[in-house]
Amino acid sequence: MKAVCWMGREKVSVEDVPDPQILNPRDAIVRITSTCICGSDLHLYNGFMPTMEQGDIVGHEFMGEIVEVGPGISADKLKVGDRVVVPFTIACGNCFFCQRQLWSSCDNSNPNAYIAETMMGYTPSGLFGYTHMLGGYAGGQAQYARVPFADVGPVKVPAGIPDEKVVFLSDIFPTGYFGAENCNIQPGDTVAIWGCGPVGQFAIFSAFLLGAERVIAIDHIPERLQMAQRGGAETINFDEVDDVVQALKDMTGNIGPDSCMDAVGMEADGHGLLYMYDRAKQAVRLQTERPIALRQAIQACRKGGTVSVPGVYGGFIDKMPMGAFMNKGLTMKTGQTHMMRYMKPLLERIESGEIDPSFVMTHRVPLTEAPQMYRTFRDKQDKCVKVVLDPWADGAKAA
Amino acid sequence: MAQAASIQPGNARGGSTRSLDVQRWGALIGGAALALYGLSRRSPLGMAIAAGGGALAFAGARPNAKREPIARSSVQVNCSPEKAYQFWRNFENLPRFMHHLESVRVTGDNRSEWVAIGPMNSRVKWNAEIVNERDNELIVWRSLPGSEVSVEGSVEFRRASGDRGTVMDVMTTYRPPAGAVGRAVAKMFGKDPSFLMRQDLRRFKALIETGEIPTVEGQTHGPRDVMTAAARMMDPDRPLPRGASMTEVAAARRRAS
């Protein structure tokens, strides 16, 4: 089959690789019909996530049709022919954490748990196509993928809804919703959201859904800010203001947003000396992240407010404003999304017509164009917001 | 009371580790003093005392001579003590999650024959018997005299607080014999026995909770380079020596970056 492989820093290529096989009783094989490039894939592309290996198949947002199931899966859970969206987190459904709905903390899905433990104390769940530290599972930017614990994660979707309306249930729509839920929104609240990428867009929608009165979105890409405005948000272009924190104060009567969300993560852009300092330290690997958005979110948040962090971090940050965090009595909530809590309820909202998530999709191209699209997406060229890849376009055949 | 009882063995173990060092230094210093004293008496009895003291000092001075490769770890599993106990009590299940074991065959009520995999595909065999057990609480086993390797092991099961399943404390001691096999065994367990045991228990937990052990061994991937393939071989959790061939390295292509 054809698969997008990580071949080194800023280097991905489409390779002919063997088809995936069932390795465990609760595995299934899915024939992928749509798969996306995620903003967090750019952290891999840019070489900032440790424990990638040349030849790793990437991608964690995919959907398709079940073509094979292992002997451990009962037919009432999943069977050949089912059309499914696969969540990016892998969860067993049996452990302490899964039974408490903390799906992305599953204890049994990471075969390389000991590597993650050296970094984080304990391991989160395994993820598709996202470093060996988080499982080393082959990803979904391919024609087929092996799905472990397939009787837990994948959500069946009826025929008749096009892929582009439901494929974002694999990560970014639930992740945006989870980020908004973590904001602890009370009726009438103002929520500030750093990052107007796809997760930020879904977070804007979800924040209003959960009762926010105002959403203020922060970015510097004009088309993304326009998309946020169409979603009902007020916007700040950080290229056009001296100080984002001051701008937020001015917009909120010097109180600050009730909740601040970092939907950017480890490779934030910004201005000024501190930004240059972060870039320099990250370039020579003295720190693994550039936490500009997170610092601003903590500084800007009103006293007693909540900071929500759906943006991805991998290691250690410098100059965490712990004084502001402590003295203002803030709460921080974060985590990889507990996908299985949200996929079905959000699918119902899509089916009812309340939201059509395909509004974030700007590019739908054949899988073979993935290498160019990584660059286009990373450099935000061509007004690129979200890329969906078609593994079978142009009559591409499995090798 | 149950908690206090469970803390005590831990404390006792901590103490015994320390006393091992004290014993070694005691043997070294005491033995040397005895030897000097014996030599100074210039008599047959003195010679005997000196010889005994010398042997004692020698034993104390040899690093690792008396240090036993002990593996010790603990795990909380999301099932009842009864279920965990029954799974472990059938020793034929152990190779499913202990990667260094090739097979365990139950040969009698309390007896079993164990085969472990050593470096270079060698096999190490021993017979063991259960020397102590309490239903759903404790299993202690020990190799029979005359085995190639001297093994002791114990596993305790107790109900976790808050109805969160079962906490298991596991300890094994391997005393390799002299000779080539002994060196092979020592090398095998030189990989940090406690790390290997943590990995074994992690697999036990996954197996008993989910019915399978998570894996990416044998999954599809793109072309590896030589460095990556070599790094895979160095994986400390790589099963010994199953699959640990050089073919993956040999097959890897070096690519211009």
pLDDT for the residue A49: 87
Residue of A92, A99, A138 lying closest to B221 (CB–CB): A138
CATH of the domain at B92: 3.30.530.20
pLDDT for the residue B189: 54
Single residue among B176, B192, B210 that ends a domain in this structure: B210
> pLDDT tens, A241-279?
999 999 999 999 999 999 999 999 988 888 888 888 888
What is the arithmetic mean of pLDDT over A360-383? 97
Q: From A20, which residue of chain B is nearest by alpha-carbon distance?
A: B220
Instruction: Give the pLDDT band (50/70/90) at residue B146.
Output: confident
pLDDT for the residue B40: 54
Mean pLDDT of all residues belonging to chain B? 75
Instruction: Answer yes or no: is pLDDT of B61 > 80.
Output: no
CATH topology of domain A2-171+337-395: Quinone Oxidoreductase; Chain A, domain 1 (3.90.180)
User: What is chain A's Cα-based Rg?
Assistant: 20
Proportion of chain A above pLDDT 90, given as a percent: 89
- Where does residue A392 rank: exposed (0-12), middle (13-18), buried (19+ CB within 10 A)? middle
CATH class of A178-334: alpha beta
Q: From A4, which residue of chain B is nearest by alpha-carbon distance?
A: B222
**Domain ranges across chain A:** 2-171+337-395, 178-334
Instruction: Give the pLDDT band (50/70/90) at residue B153.
Output: very high
Same domain, B108 and B157: yes
Q: Specify if B172 maps to a domain.
A: yes
CB A362 within 8 A of CB A385: yes
How many distinct structural domains can be found in chain B?
Answer: 2
Those residues with Cβ within 8 angstroms of residue A367's Cβ, 6 or more apart along the chain or in another chain: A2, A4, A14, A35, A141, A142, A143, A389, A390, A391, A392, A393, A396
Same domain, B39 and B141: no
What is the arithmetic mean of pLDDT over B166-186? 75
Are the beta carbons of B78 and A99 separated by less than 8 Å? yes
Map residue B125 onto helix, strand or coil: strand
Same domain, B78 and B127: yes
Beta strand B111-117 pairing with B101-106: antiparallel
Selected residue of B73, B99, B199, B212 to mutate for chain A interface (largest A Cβ count, 10 A): B212
CB A88 within 8 A of CB A170: yes
Are the beta carbons of B228 and A53 separated by less than 8 Å? yes
Same domain, B94 and B203: yes
Which tokens go with B70? 């002990």
Pick from A167, A210, A166: nearest CA to A188: A210
pLDDT for the residue A295: 96
Are the beta carbons of A94 and B198 separated by less than 8 Å? no
With tokens 């987190």, the residue in question is A89
Alpha-helical segments (H) within chain B:
2-41, 44-61, 81-89, 179-189, 193-210, 226-233, 247-251
What is the arithmetic mean of pLDDT over B161-181? 83
> pLDDT tens, B208-236?
999 999 999 999 999 988 877 777 766 66
What is the arithmetic mean of pLDDT over A350-372? 97
Instruction: Give the pLDDT band (50/70/90) at residue B9.
Output: very low
> pLDDT tens, B22-50?
555 555 555 555 555 555 555 555 556 66
Instruction: Give the pLDDT band (50/70/90) at residue A363.
Output: very high
User: Comparing A102-106, A392-396, B204-208, which segment has the lowest mean pLDDT?
Assistant: A392-396
Instruction: Answer yes or no: is pLDDT of A235 > 60.
Output: yes
Instruction: Give the pLDDT band (50/70/90) at residue B65.
Output: very low
Tell me, yes or no, if the pTM score tops 0.80.
Answer: yes
Q: How far apart are CA A93 and CA A111, in angstroms?
A: 16
Instruction: Answer yes or no: is pLDDT of B121 > 80.
Output: no
Instruction: Answer yes or no: is pLDDT of B193 > 70.
Output: yes
- Give the range of the structural domain holding residue B104, as residue numbers without chain letter: 70-210
Selected residue of B200, B216, B217, B248 to mutate for chain A interface (largest A Cβ count, 10 A): B216
Q: Which residues pair with A363 in a beta bridge?
A: A387
Are the beta carbons of B220 and A18 separated by less than 8 Å? yes
pLDDT for the residue B46: 57
CB pairs < 8 Å spanning A and B: 117
Are the beta carbons of B219 and A138 separated by less than 8 Å? yes
Q: How far apart are CA B118 and CA B184, in angstroms?
A: 6
User: Comparing A77-91, A138-152, B29-43, B79-93, which segment has the lowest mean pLDDT?
Assistant: B29-43
Those residues with Cβ within 8 angstroms of residue B15's Cβ, 6 or more apart along the chain or in another chain: none
**Looking at the complex, does the CB of residue B212 fall below 8 Å from at least one CB of chain A?**
yes
Q: From A11, which residue of chain B is nearest by alpha-carbon distance?
A: B257
With tokens 């399978």, the residue in question is B212
**Looking at the complex, does the CB of residue B18 fall below 8 Å from at least one CB of chain A?**
no
Instruction: Answer yes or no: is pLDDT of B12 > 90.
Output: no
Proportion of chain A above pLDDT 70, given as a percent: 98
Those residues with Cβ within 8 angstroms of residue A69's Cβ, 6 or more apart along the chain or in another chain: A22, A27, A28, A29, A78, A79, A80, A150
> pLDDT tens, A145-161?
999 999 999 999 999 99
What is the arithmetic mean of pLDDT over B17-22? 46
Same domain, B139 and B175: yes
Longest dimension (CA), chain B: 78
Are the beta carbons of A21 and B228 separated by less than 8 Å? no
Mean pLDDT of all residues belonging to chain A? 95
* Number of Cβ atoms within 10 Å of the Cβ of A285: 11
**Looking at the complex, does the CB of residue B60 fall below 8 Å from at least one CB of chain A?**
no
CB A172 within 8 A of CB A88: no
Q: Specify if B257 maps to a domain.
A: no
Are the beta carbons of A112 and B237 separated by less than 8 Å? yes
Instruction: Give the pLDDT band (50/70/90) at residue B88.
Output: very high
Q: Specify if B9 maps to a domain.
A: no
Are the beta carbons of B209 and A146 separated by less than 8 Å? no
Alpha-helical segments (H) within A352-387:
370-378
Single residue among B210, B230, B250 that ends a domain in this structure: B210
CB crowding A246-279: b at 16 or more within 10 Å, else e: ebbbebbeeebbbbbbbbbbbbbbbeeeeeeebe
- Chain B residues touching A94 at Cβ < 8 A: 78, 209-210
Map residue A209 onto helix, strand or coil: helix
Same domain, B82 and B203: yes
Question: How big, in percent rounded to 5, are the helix, strand and coil portions of chain A?
Answer: 30, 20, 45
**Looking at the complex, does the CB of residue B29 fall below 8 Å from at least one CB of chain A?**
no
What is the arithmetic mean of pLDDT over A29-54? 94
CB crowding B19-45: b at 16 or more within 10 Å, else e: eeeeebeebbeebbebbeebeeeeeee
Q: How far apart are CA A265 and CA A195, in angstroms?
A: 9
